[in-house]
């Protein structure tokens, strides 16, 4: 998404959790503990992926996007679809998104990443664009002036 910023990637932590499991230092009971709420969120608001579950390898993972921030009021802490996120990103100034992957087969779940969304992240919004145009307009005018001067010198 265009306004995505301050991304924190948790894939290292995820790989570490999987290593612990393979090494027998963690059990699937510890890692596959998706709550009924998380699974409902995955069913109703989740985005399906092509990624196979690393634990059971029989289901594809679903990504759930949880939103947090003062501007969200009662919606804070709820799951949203990607389409809803992009609307919010254009409406609100700033909110936090936590992405959790879930397997609806074996209940594996893990935080994948977090990031900020919202209009505050727009660097090329309407204001920025006009400023850019002004700068290139000035450059064009200077260029035209320089050309005219060169022509006058001839
Ligand atoms: Zn699974």
Specify whether the CB–CB gap between 46 and 73 falls below 8 A.
no
- Measured in Å, residue 33 CA sits from the centre of ligand 1 at 11
Residue 150 tokens read as 């060169």
Give the single-character DSSP code of 4: -
Q: Residue 130: its pLDDT value, please?
A: 43
CA-CA distances (angstroms) from residue 43 to 48, 49, 75, 104?
9, 13, 18, 8
Q: What distance in Å separates the CA atoms of residue 22 and residue 140, rounded to the nearest whole number?
A: 63
Mean pLDDT of all residues belonging to the chain: 86
Which helix (H) or strand (E) covers residue 6, if one does? strand 5-9
- Measured in Å, residue 115 CA sits from the centre of ligand 1 at 25
- Residues 65/69/75/80 CA torsion (nearest 10 deg): -20
Q: Residue 1: its pLDDT value, please?
A: 80
- Measured in Å, residue 52 CA sits from the centre of ligand 1 at 8
- Measured in Å, residue 141 CA sits from the centre of ligand 1 at 62
Indicate whether 68 pLDDT > 50. yes
Indicate whether 71 pLDDT > 50. yes
Indicate whether 52 pLDDT > 50. yes
Specify whether the CB–CB gap between 66 and 98 falls below 8 A.
yes
- Measured in Å, residue 2 CA sits from the centre of ligand 1 at 31
Task: Determine which of 108-112, 113-117, 118-122 has the lowest per-residue pLDDT on average.
Answer: 118-122
Indicate whether 146 pLDDT > 90. no
- Measured in Å, residue 7 CA sits from the centre of ligand 1 at 26
- Measured in Å, residue 104 CA sits from the centre of ligand 1 at 7
* All structural domains of the chain with their residue ranges: 5-122, 123-154
- Measured in Å, residue 79 CA sits from the centre of ligand 1 at 21
Instruction: Report residue 153's pLDDT band, with 50, 70 and 90 as the boundaries.
Output: low
Residue 2: count of CB within 10 angstroms of its CB: 13
Q: Residue 122: its pLDDT value, please?
A: 85
Specify whether the CB–CB gap between 101 and 38 falls below 8 A.
no
């Amino acid at each position: 998404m265009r306004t995505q910023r301050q991304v924190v990637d948790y894939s290292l932590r995820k790989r570490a959790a999987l290593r612990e499991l393979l090494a027998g230092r963690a059990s699937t009971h510890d890692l596959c503990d998706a709550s009924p709420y998380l699974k409902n969120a995955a069913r109703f608001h989740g985005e399906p992926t092509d990624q196979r579950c690393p634990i059971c390898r029989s289901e594809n993972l679903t990504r759930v996007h949880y939103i947090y921030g003062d501007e969200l009021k009662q919606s804070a802490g709820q799951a949203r679809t990607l389409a809803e996120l992009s609307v919010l990103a254009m409406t609100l100034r700033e909110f936090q998104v936590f992405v959790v992957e879930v397997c609806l087969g074996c209940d594996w779940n893990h935080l994948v990443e977090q990031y900020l969304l919202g209009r505050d992240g727009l660097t090329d919004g309407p204001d920025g664009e006009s400023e850019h145009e002004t700068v290139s307009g000035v450059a064009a005018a200077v260029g035209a002036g320089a050309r005219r001067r060169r022509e006058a010198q001839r």
